[in-house]
C-alpha cells in the first residue's frame, strides 16, 4: 500500500485548496497535483509543484513580453523545431518538483542524474518504514548471458519461489534487527528500558537495498527529458523504467506540445553514426553491404542491423 490513510487525508486536504494566480497553470496537471501515482509494490510519484507550460518555452525562445497572438499550431511548430535541433535553454524555463518513493537501489541509480535538486529522507533522523520492494514473479530473471547489465530468462517454479522467500526473509530479518539495534518500535517507543539503543545513523547500515526511501526531486524540463530519454528506454532497468513511464504521463499532462515533440524526436527516433549513415546511403544506392565491407565493428554492425529491423539488439 503506497499511501496510508493519514497520508491520504493530508493529500486530500492539499488537493482541496485553490489559489488565484496570474501565473500560467495547466488544468490537466492541476488534476493530478499532489496525487500519489503508484509505482511497483509500495512506491509512488507525486507532482508537488511546477512552473511554466508550453507557452513558457515559446515565450523564452522568442524572448517576448507576453504570450503573444501566435496560433497554437505555430507554437507547436516552434517547439518541434527547438526539439529537433536540440536547443536546450527554452526548455530550461519550465520546472517541476516530484515527491518520489522508491527502493534504495533504484535511488542510487537515479542520483547519477546530477542536474536536479534533491532532498532525501534522512535515516539519521527518521526511522525507515518496514517496506521493501519484492519483484513480481515475471521480473525474477537470471543474469543475461550476453548482456552484463541485463536480465535473461525468467525463473520459474521452485527456483523462483525460493528466490522470493530469500528476499522476503532477508528483508524482514534485517529490518527486525534494525529496530532491535535502535531499541525502538515503529512509533519510536523504547522497546527495552534496560538498554540503550544504537544511534540511528549507525543502525541504518543494516538495512537491505530494497528498503524504500523517499525524496523530493526538482528539475527543469530540459534535464527531465534527458532523464526520461534514458530511463524510459527499453534498455533501462525495469524498476527505474516504470517510474520514468509514470513521469512521462505527467509531462504529457503538463506540456503536451513539448511531450509530442519529445516523443517523435527522442523516444521514437534513432541515431546513426557517420559511418552507419554512409553504409545506409550505399545500401539505398543498391549496393550489397556486408559487415566486412561496411567498415563497422561487429557490435556496431549488430546495432545497425537491429535498428534497421526496428528491434533492439540482443
Pairing of strands 43-51, 95-103: antiparallel
CA distance 214 to 123: 11
Residue 62 annotated in active site: no
Query: Which of the following is catalytic: 195, 231, 241, 282?
Result: 231
Backbone angles phi, psi at 305, to 5 degrees: -65, -40
Q: Which residue has the cell 559511418?
A: 275
Q: Which of 250, 228, 225, 252 lies closest to 48 in space, CA to CA?
A: 250
Quick check: helix, strand or coil at residue 272?
coil
Q: Residue 250, Cα to own-chain centre: how many angstroms?
A: 11
Q: Sign (positive/negative) of CA torsion 214, 98, 249, 259?
A: negative
CA distance 121 to 273: 43
Q: Which three cell numbers stand for residue 273?
A: 553514426
Active site (catalytic) residues: 231
Amino acid at each position: 500500500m503506497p499511501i496510508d490513510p493519514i497520508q491520504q487525508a493530508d493529500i486530500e486536504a492539499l488537493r482541496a485548496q485553490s489559489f488565484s494566480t496570474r501565473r500560467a497553470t495547466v488544468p490537466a496537471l492541476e488534476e493530478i497535483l499532489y496525487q500519489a501515482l503508484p509505482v511497483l509494490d509500495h512506491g509512488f510519484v507525486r507532482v508537488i509543484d511546477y512552473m511554466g507550460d508550453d507557452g513558457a518555452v515559446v515565450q523564452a525562445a522568442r524572448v517576448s513580453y507576453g504570450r503573444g497572438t501566435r496560433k497554437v499550431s505555430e507554437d507547436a511548430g516552434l517547439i518541434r523545431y527547438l526539439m529537433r535541433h536540440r536547443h536546450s535553454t527554452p526548455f530550461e524555463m519550465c520546472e517541476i518538483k516530484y515527491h518520489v518513493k522508491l527502493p534504495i537501489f533504484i535511488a542510487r541509480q537515479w542520483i547519477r542524474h546530477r542536474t536536479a535538486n534533491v532532498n532525501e529522507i534522512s535515516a539519521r533522523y527518521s526511522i525507515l518504514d518496514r517496506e521493501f520492494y519484492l519483484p513480481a514473479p515475471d521480473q525474477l530473471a537470471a543474469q543475461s548471458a550476453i548482456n552484463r547489465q541485463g536480465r535473461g530468462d525468467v525463473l520459474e517454479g521452485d527456483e523462483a519461489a525460493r528466490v522470493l522467500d530469500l528476499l522476503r526473509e532477508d528483508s524482514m530479518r534485517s529490518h527486525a534487527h534494525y529496530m532491535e539495534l535502535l531499541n525502538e518500535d515503529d512509533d519510536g517507543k523504547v522497546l527495552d528500558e534496560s538498554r540503550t539503543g544504537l544511534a540511528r545513523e549507525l543502525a541504518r547500515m543494516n538495512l537491505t537495498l530494497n528498503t524504500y526511501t523517499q525524496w523530493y526531486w526538482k528539475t527543469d524540463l530540459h534535464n527531465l527529458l534527458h532523464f526520461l530519454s534514458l530511463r524510459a528506454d527499453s534498455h533501462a532497468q525495469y524498476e527505474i523504467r516504470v517510474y520514468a513511464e509514470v513521469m512521462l504521463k505527467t509531462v504529457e499532462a503538463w506540456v503536451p506540445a513539448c511531450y509530442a515533440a519529445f516523443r517523435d524526436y527522442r523516444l521514437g527516433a534513432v541515431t546513426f553514426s557517420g559511418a552507419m549513415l554512409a553504409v545506409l546511403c550505399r545500401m539505398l544506392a543498391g549496393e550489397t553491404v556486408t559487415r566486412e565491407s561496411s567498415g563497422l565493428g561487429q557490435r556496431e554492425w549488430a546495432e545497425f542491423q537491429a535498428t534497421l529491423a526496428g528491434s533492439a539488439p540482443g
